[in-house]
Amino acid sequence: MKKLMAEFIGTFWLVLGGCGSAMLAANIPNSEMGIAYIGVALAFGLTVVSMAYSIGHISGCHLNPAVSIGLFVGGRFDSKELPGYIVAQVLGGIFGALILYVIVTGNGSEVGSFASNGYDAGSPHGYSIVAALITEIVMTFMFLIIILGATHSKAPKGFAGLAIGLGLTLIHLISIPVTNTSVNPARSTSQALFASADWSPLGQLWLFWVAPIVGAILAGLVYKFMSPEEAEA
């Protein structure tokens, strides 16, 4: 229960911090003080860094169903804990989105797409479903490679959270224009539930479950092949 509580709080913070930055600070009307894509990318990275050093020793700080699945495939995570982690992450994300919804609508603003992930009409720059699928698979693959490598027993101690957070920042810098960056089904689900965009974020949500999970599984298999001694340790 302590692990699940940590995952709930961590994913709550990921959504509130990352998506909150996108909704509240990325573009401020009649002002030049918006943080734009760079600021949003950094915000997502900072949520992971801050939680890695806060709850990493409790739950491992997955904050993402794809990460939990990738760690399981890579031999780092017990299958018995997988369902509970995924449920806690999704619920934490939804709670974060709920709090953000209340804040965003506090001045009468419409939530619109609510920083949801999408392709075609849902893509910030109109990228196709194929581009979105490839982007999410590859970005999640690299995210898991970073996680599996940074947390390896032979990796420098104490720097995993920083490497993972910076990795997520770079992933957002690459892929925000394409899909608004998911690599995390819990984050995608939470925003899609509250969005009011014409292109139906819920109708496109399937891609942001399938692609990150495929990328995570591939990364788990590849890293387990490259470093089998870690799986046996």
User: pLDDT per residue over 89-109, tens digit each?
Assistant: 999 999 999 999 999 999 988
Can you read off the two tokens belonging to residue 142?
Answer: 């690299």
Domains of the chain: 2-232 (1.20.1080.10)
Provide the pLDDT for residue 59.
96
Tens digits of residue pLDDT in 120-138: 999 999 999 999 999 999 9
Provide the pLDDT for residue 155.
84
Provide the pLDDT for residue 72.
96
Distances (CA, A) of 220 to 20, 66, 151: 30, 10, 13
Taking the mean position of all CA atoms in its chain, how far away is CA 94? Answer: 13
State the CB neighbour count (10 A cutoff) for residue 138. Answer: 17
Ramachandran angles phi, psi of 52, nearest 5°: -60, -40
Q: Cα–Cα distance between 209 and 144 in angstroms, integer?
A: 15
Any residues with CB less than 8 A from the CB of 173 and at least 6 apart, and which? Answer: 37, 38, 41
Sequential DSSP letters for 113-169:
TTT---SGGGSTT---HHHHHHHHHHHHHHHHHHHHHHTSTTSPTT-HHHHHHHHHH
For the CA atoms of 109, 110, 115, 119, the dihedral, rounded to the nearest 10 degrees, stands at: -150
Provide the pLDDT for residue 108.
87
DSSP code of residue 86: H
Provide the pLDDT for residue 121.
96
Provide the pLDDT for residue 229.
58
Share of the chain above pLDDT 70, in %: 97
Provide the pLDDT for residue 11.
98
Tens digits of residue pLDDT in 24-57: 998 887 777 889 999 999 999 999 999 999 999 9
Q: Cα–Cα distance between 81 and 179 in angstroms, integer?
A: 30
Angle at 180 between CA 178 and CA 181, to 5 degrees: 90
Provide the pLDDT for residue 6.
98
Any residues with CB less than 8 A from the CB of 226 and at least 6 apart, and which? Answer: none
